[in-house]
Amino acid sequence: MTVDSRSPRTSLIQQLESDRLLGIRSLPMREPAASNVAGGSQDSKKITDVSTKDKTRRLRDVDDGEVKNCRKCGLAQTRTQTVFGQGNAAARLVFVGEAPGFEEDKQGLAFVGRAGQLLTRMITAMGLSRDDVFICNVLKCRPPNNRDPSADEILACDSYLRRQVEIIDPEVLVTLGAPASKTLLNTAEAIGRLRGRFHEYFVSGGTGDGPSIPLMPTYHPAYLLRSPGEKGKAWADLQLVMKRLGLPDPPQ
């Protein structure tokens, strides 16, 4: 699955989005990104459609049958609603954050506040749209007052996240922020040392056995809003992801 070649107009729009991500003022032009599914024969499209429908159904079964009714930890008593995540069930790229915030808890959707708006611009700068990727969090419930998740809360949600990743089976994972990165990589290393290179996420939970997925840690959009000088580093991380996925580089 690859992105089709872009027209000069689309390339210009992608460059403008990239500039805005890096803090450069530019005309806010928008255009829907090309699909990340390349055209093929009718038979291959039918197979892809069936696979996507099956993955969508399986994700819905986990959400409706388990997550929405989850009482594994105390967050069930304080949440407004669970936030399973949303996007393309057959996405090549999955973004994983830490936990839902106020707006996410209110709407039941992942990354819809100010940080979510910046994440959308980051995805657009990559030449994709939110419909091309899947976005979720380690936790499916908001911790009160957006406090850090506890170890038991992370453990309670671990199986849900692993099943999401197993069903979607993406080519690359991007963890947003230190908590998500440390959780998925089972490490205490600082995000500044983790970012900038790929790691391996073992779907089974092991540390060297079974199937794994390349994982790129980067800064959380909320952190980038507070520290705009770090946006360039986050964009460099996403460019490595683009290269891994075979997506076209933005024009220089």
List the CATH number of the domain containing 151: 3.40.470.10
- What pLDDT does 13 receive? 52
Distance of CA 202 to the CA centre of its chain: 17
Residue 252 lies in a domain: no
Residue 3 placed within a domain = no
**pTM (predicted TM-score):** 0.83
Per-residue confidence (pLDDT) for residue 5, from 0 to 100:
39
Q: Is residue 250 part of a domain?
A: no
Please report whether residue 116 resides in a domain.
Answer: yes
User: Could you list the residue range(s) of the whole structural domain that residue 81 is in?
Assistant: 8-245
In a domain, 2, yes or no: no
CB atoms within 10 A of CB 130: 19
Is 27 a member of any domain? yes
Provide the residue-wise pLDDT of the chain in tens; the chain has 252 residues.
333 434 444 544 555 555 555 554 433 333 434 444 334 456 656 667 778 999 999 999 999 999 999 999 999 999 999 999 999 999 999 999 999 999 999 999 999 999 999 999 999 999 999 999 999 999 999 999 999 999 999 999 999 999 999 999 999 999 999 999 999 999 999 999 999 999 999 988 766 667 899 999 999 999 999 999 999 999 999 999 999 999 998 766
Q: How many separate domains does the chain show?
A: 1
Q: Quick one: pLDDT at residue 44?
A: 52
What are the two backbone dihedrals, phi and then psi, of residue 195, each rounded to the nearest 5 degrees? -70, 165
On whether residue 1 sits in a domain, the answer given is: no
Give the per-residue pLDDT at 144: 95
pLDDT digits (tens, 9 = 90+) for 40-76: 456 656 667 778 999 999 999 999 999 999 999 999 9
Asked whether residue 17 is assigned to any structural domain, the reply reads yes
User: What length does the chain have?
Assistant: 252
* Residue partners of 169: CB distance under 8 A and separation at least 6: none
Q: What is the pLDDT of residue 192?
A: 97
Taking the CA atoms of 59, 140, 82 and 151 in sequence, report the sign of the dihedral they define: positive
Q: Which amino acid is at 173?
A: L
